[in-house]
Amino acid sequence: MTVRNLDHLFRPKSVALIGASHQARSVGAVLAHNLFQGGFAGPIMPVNPHGGAVGSVLAYPDVAALPAVPELAVIATPPPSVPPLIAELGARGCRAAVVITAGFSEGDSAAGRALSAAMLEAARPHLLRIVGPNCLGIMVPGRGLNASFAHVAPLCGSIAFLTQSGGGGPKGLTRATAPGNGIIHPV
């Protein structure tokens, strides 16, 4: 594995949230809240097929309508929509995506494995990095980036925390919110 495009994942200049929602307690609403409240300095572009606004920010109906190419895309849409979205984002020049959506190969179904393979195949020609699917998201407190659906936000600190575990992630985040603890951002 190379470090190619990791800067777009951990230090993006712009973020698109595909599957943004204003429906209370939905994953898309929690993601939008966390992104908008995290202190991220760049544009956050919510995408919702119904348009309108999410968190009082104008939402775009689809990826094609985005006014700029996002460096990072956060995807929380139904599983069958993910491979075509990855292909479209990659073709536009996006280089990193966090796929929150579940329903891929984690369930060990043939359909899930096929979706996972299609997602990776869609990313390959564009060298688009993917975190996920079926993940909590990513957080880079020193950059104001909270692209997760966690209900706590870590403080900025002096250690990095990476986990593959759905159970270990929230426990580690809880500890990173205690005074004197925190998570470092990439330099």
Predicted structure pTM score: 0.86
What is the pLDDT at residue 66?
98
Beta strands 57-58 and 53-54, pairing class: antiparallel
> If we measure between CA atoms, which residue out of 141, 27, 125, 26 comes closest to residue 74?
27
Assign 180 a pLDDT band (cuts: 50, 70, 90).
Answer: low
In a domain, 159, yes or no: no
In a domain, 171, yes or no: no
In a domain, 187, yes or no: no
Q: What is the mean pLDDT of residues 52-73?
A: 95
Residue 187 pLDDT > 50, yes or no?
A: no
Residue 183 pLDDT > 60, yes or no?
A: no
Assign 186 a pLDDT band (cuts: 50, 70, 90).
Answer: very low
Give the tens place of pLDDT for each residue, 101-121.
Answer: 998 877 778 999 999 999 999
**Cβ partners under 8 Å of residue 173, min gap 6:** 139, 150, 152, 154, 161
In a domain, 164, yes or no: no
Print the domain residue range for 125.
6-151
Q: Which of 26-30, 96-100, 106-110 has the lowest mean pLDDT?
A: 106-110
Assign 57 a pLDDT band (cuts: 50, 70, 90).
Answer: very high
Q: How many domains does the chain have?
A: 1
Q: What is the mean pLDDT of residues 129-133?
A: 94
In a domain, 88, yes or no: yes
Residue 86 pLDDT > 60, yes or no?
A: yes
In a domain, 132, yes or no: yes
In a domain, 177, yes or no: no
Residue 80 pLDDT > 90, yes or no?
A: yes
The CATH number given to whatever domain includes residue 51 is 3.40.50.720
Alpha carbons 106 and 124: distance in angstroms, whole number: 20
> If we measure between CA atoms, which residue out of 58, 62, 135 comes closest to residue 98?
135
In a domain, 105, yes or no: yes
Which tokens in the block code for residue 55? 């968190």
